[in-house]
Structure formats: C-alpha cells, structure tokens
Amino acid sequence: MTEPALLADPPLPLLVTGIAGVAGYNAFLYFRDRYPGRVVGTRRSDNWPLTGPGVAACDIHNHDGLRRLFDEHQFAAVLNCEGTCKLKSCELDPWLAWRVNVVGIQNLLEVLEGTDVRLVHLSVDLVYSGNDNRSDGYVEDDPPDPVTIYGKTMVQSERLILAHRPDACILRISLPMGKSFSGHAGAIDWIESRFKKGKPVTLLHDEIRTPTYTDCLNRVFQWTLGNRLSGLFHAGGPTRLSLYQIGQIILEHGGYDPSLLLGCNRDCFDPIPPRAGNVVMDSSRLAAALNVSPFAPWPTGVLC
C-alpha cells in the first residue's frame, strides 16, 4: 500500500452520517480527532447510548430535522455512511429499508440543492448478486442485479445521486474491518461476540467479499472529500475471502474453540434473507484515480 505524503483537508465543517455503523463510526472518530470541533456525526434518534462530543441525534429520513442540522452548522462537506443494512430486517420490512436508504437520500439531496457542499456517499458490493461464477471482479460498468431488498435500495440511492448530484463521489465498499460502537456490529465484532460467549456461528463458503481495514477507508474518505473526484468507484480490498474464511481467521486469531465455526453453502442456508455469492469487486479504477494503491490486504497481522 502506498499513499501520498500529505492528505488534503476536507472542506469544513464536515458531517458524517450513520456513525452507528462500522464505516461511519471509525470515520467519525478519525475526522473528529483530526479536526476538533469541526466535525459532527449523526446517529438515529432512538440510538440514545451513542453520545459524545460532536454526536447529534438526527434521522436522515426526517427532512425538517436534517434541514435544521444544516442550518445550524453550515456544513461544507458530507460523508454519507447512513444505511439500514440488516439483511433480514430489510426483507421483512422493506419500507424500513426504503425510508432510510432511499427517502433519506432524497432528503439529503434536497437539503444540498443549490449548494456546492462536497458529497461522498457509501454504497456496497451487495448491489451485485454474485451468481454468475465470474473469476474476475465486478467493475463499475457492470449492471447491478441485487438479490436483497437492502441491495435494491442501495442501487436506487446510487441512481438518485448520479442523477441529481453528478459532482458527488460514490464509493462501493465491501466489509469494513474495524471496531463498532456497539461491540457486536460488523463482521469482526459480531463473529467474535458469539465466539466469546461459546455460541456457534454458521458462515457461507460461497459468499465471497473484498474486506478493507477501516484505517485504509478513512484515508480514502479524506482523499475523496479533499478533491473533486466524481462518479462511481469500487472500494474493495485486494484479498478475496469467503465469509467462512473470515470466520476462520477470527477464530484462529482469538484462540477460540474450532467447533464453534460451522460452514455451509447458500443453497443450504435460510432463504430469508437471500444471499449473494461471489461479489468480489475490481477497485483498480479508484487506485488509478487516486494514483495510489489505497488498501492493505486484510489481515496483515492484526484484524483491525
């Protein structure tokens, strides 16, 4: 991994939405430490345990609340990490996913209309089905074909931004590998929280992802916020791992009981939610645009 000697400052003040998620939480801490008093992070109004300097309760689907937050802080840039990503919850309550992932983006775009606020938006590799057994990674021009409500709503949010905010940058990420606020969100914390309690985990052999360290993602966020790179880019790491392989790494790293890790293929898994297959992304377009190789292979000795 290489990186420039100096990272440009993002326009300030900066809003980071969706800080309850792994990517948003780690990005918020990163930027808050670098720019004290100039960064605000939003969490949903019902997530009352998440508090601290710069944390604001604001639901992205609440248009008036979002407008008031912008009027108060006059943000110059937004890193939008908000999104409902619990696959089963989205399948059982599609309106929940639509309200946050689509209506929330509509509200954000309306608030930004007529401004030059810099927008970087996070999407996800699950806009693809991974059902075509391809040996190469998906590129940005491959048409999305999601199998989940979550993926379908994320595709719709991408289309809204591309249509109404062509100067924005959309980053499709995979599994962000870092600590979560709750201690049981995200790949590492969720799997490890079960292992610590002696509970088994069943993970898929045939769902393949390209995980990234949140530290690497944070630098990519700063690069893209600090320049005018626009359009859609894949932001997955260089290592291709199945969910089961990720579980093996966490199990071996923590010295947990090997019997706790179970594996199966998608055709033997609970059909709700449906699961994607090989959604490996080719992120060479982003590397070329940034003139760096921004992602270290996960893991490289430490998990996060």
Question: Is residue 3 domain-resident?
Answer: no
pLDDT of residue 72: 97
Q: Which helix (H) or strand (E) element contains residue 16?
A: strand 14-17
Question: Is residue 272 domain-resident?
Answer: no
Q: Per the structure, how many domains does the chain have?
A: 1
Upstream peptide bond of 13 is cis (omega within 30 degrees of 0): yes
Q: What are phi and psi of 242, to 5 degrees?
A: -75, 160
Residues 6+ apart with CB under 8 A from 163: none
Quick one: tokens of 140?
Answer: 């940005």
Burial 268-278 (b: 16+ CB within 10 A, else e): ebeeebbbbbb
Question: Is residue 246 domain-resident?
Answer: no
**Which residue range is the domain that position 168 belongs to?**
14-180+213-238+281-290
Divide the 304 residues of the chain into consecutive groups of 10 and give the mean pLDDT of each group: 66 97 97 98 93 96 96 98 91 94 97 97 97 86 96 98 97 96 88 96 96 97 95 97 97 96 92 93 96 92 78
Rounded distance between C-alpha atoms, residue 230 and residue 161, angstroms: 11
Minimal CA–CA distance to 239: which of 283, 285, 287, 297? Answer: 297
Question: Are 247 and 100 within 8 A, CB to CB?
Answer: no
pLDDT of residue 303: 81
51 burial class (0-12, 13-18, 19+ CB within 10 angstroms)? exposed
Residues 6+ apart with CB under 8 A from 119: 77, 78, 80, 108, 112, 161, 165, 167, 168, 169
Question: Is residue 109 domain-resident?
Answer: yes
pLDDT of residue 3: 52
**Would you give the DSSP letter of residue 143?**
P
Question: Is residue 41 domain-resident?
Answer: yes
Question: Are 203 and 250 within 8 A, CB to CB?
Answer: no
pLDDT of residue 32: 98
Question: Are 149 and 171 within 8 A, CB to CB?
Answer: no
Q: Partners of 244 in the beta sheet? A: none
Minimal CA–CA distance to 137: which of 71, 82, 210? Answer: 210
Q: Partners of 261 in the beta sheet? A: 201
pLDDT of residue 6: 59
Question: Is residue 295 domain-resident?
Answer: no
Looking at residue 108, which CATH number applies to its domain?
Answer: 3.40.50.720
pLDDT of residue 89: 92
Question: Is residue 191 domain-resident?
Answer: no
pLDDT of residue 7: 79
Residues 6+ apart with CB under 8 A from 105: 60, 80, 121, 157, 160, 161
Long-range (24+ apart) CB contacts under 8 A made by 266-271 are 266/204, 266/206, 266/207, 269/202, 269/204
Question: Is residue 231 domain-resident?
Answer: yes
Q: How far is CA 226 from CA 6, 88, 117, in A?
A: 11, 36, 12
